[in-house]
Amino acid sequence: MISLIVTVLNEGDSIDPLMLSILAQTCQPDELVIVDGGSTDQTVSVIQSYADRLPLRVVVEPGANISRGRNRAIAESRGDIIAITDAGVRLESGWLQQLTQPLLDDPALMVAAGFFAADPRTRFEVAMGAAVLPVAADIDPATFLPSSRSVAVRRAALERASVYPEWLDYCEDLIFDLRLRTSGAPFVFVPQAVAYFRPRGSLRSYFKQYYLYARGDGKADLWRRRHAVRYVTYLVAAPLLLLLGWRVHWLLWGLFPLGGAVYLRAPYARLPQVMRHSPDRSAAAWLYVALMIPIIRLVGDIAKMIGYPVGWGWRLRPRPPDWRE
């Protein structure tokens, strides 16, 4: 039995694409369990309008965060295989079939890691996709940590690895993945099981998103080395190079564009693939996206450098449980 679970909150204006894409699946779930965290808009009524076309159960739990919503949906579901996606996405028509088939074929597999891709509508969203989202060719299946927009897990693996950390408001799916990895659950990467989603539509909303992601990293004590490298680069190496170029020789400043070229190599390498999905492929659009990529990367780095210590400050006060245990 295959269960599909989703948790939602105030998605009344955006839930239809997800529901329609579930209806269009080539393989329908045996049950669809949706937990609503206490929406104050028409989310629940919109979802309920699909009850005659889908094996739907809606559970309302006011105040549930995304982790609690997913945990409640898992507890309410009855399937041996649990597929997980998110509000705000549109699923490829073969998503559920592609995602769950490896688990059906091989009882030893515990986790099927699907993929996600940008579904841009504006030039800025195209630039976002190129700047921050990997393409399938970038992924190492041995270490890939899937987004909970697109993953399927055998229930037996959940019993060993616990569930989503309800004390964490962001990066909860990373902790979920890492627990599954450390439990020894065998993963398989299924790049053709794609969930499409719209990237953030402005620098302001993008800054907030990555600030919250980094705050979640700090709360969960994730990626210390990665964040340390960022602080050293911006707060030590860059000022030191400026000083050396001024006091020793100006040619040393040539290391800035060289370092920038290395840092931006991956976004520019995937730019042609991302532009194939752009609604605007004019020369002006290419130029705009190319110029926005370094700006987006810089804004994201600043957001992370602010958010990470805020998360660590939170962590030092309530002393949350160690997710590794």
Confidence of residue 223 (pLDDT cuts 50, 70, 90): very high
Q: Mean pLDDT, to the nearest integer, of 184-189?
A: 94
Domains and CATH numbers, the chain: 2-197 (3.90.550.10), 203-316 (no CATH)
pLDDT tens per residue, range 61-100: 999 999 999 999 999 999 999 999 999 899 999 999 999 9
Average pLDDT for the chain: 93
**Residue 258 has what pLDDT?**
94
- The backbone torsions φ and ψ at residue 112, rounded to the nearest 5 degrees and listed phi first, read -110, 115
- State the average pLDDT over residues 270-291: 92
Predicted model pTM = 0.91
Average pLDDT over residues 7-22: 94
pLDDT at 320 > cutoff 90: no
**Chain position carrying tokens 């993963």:** 187
Cα–Cα separations (whole angstroms), residue 60 to 33, 35, 38, 118, 196 = 11, 6, 6, 30, 26
142-172 tens-digit pLDDT:
999 999 999 999 999 987 767 899 888 888 9
For residue 32, what are its two tokens? 């669809």
Q: E-assigned strands of the chain?
A: 2-8, 31-36, 56-60, 81-84, 89-91, 111-118, 151-154, 187-197
Q: Is 179 exposed, middle or buried (0-12, 13-18, 19+ CB in 10 A)?
A: buried
- What secondary structure, in 3-state letters, does 103-132 show? HHHCCCCCEEEEEEEECCCCHHHHHHHHHH
**Above 80 in pLDDT, residue 192?**
yes
pLDDT of residue 161: 67
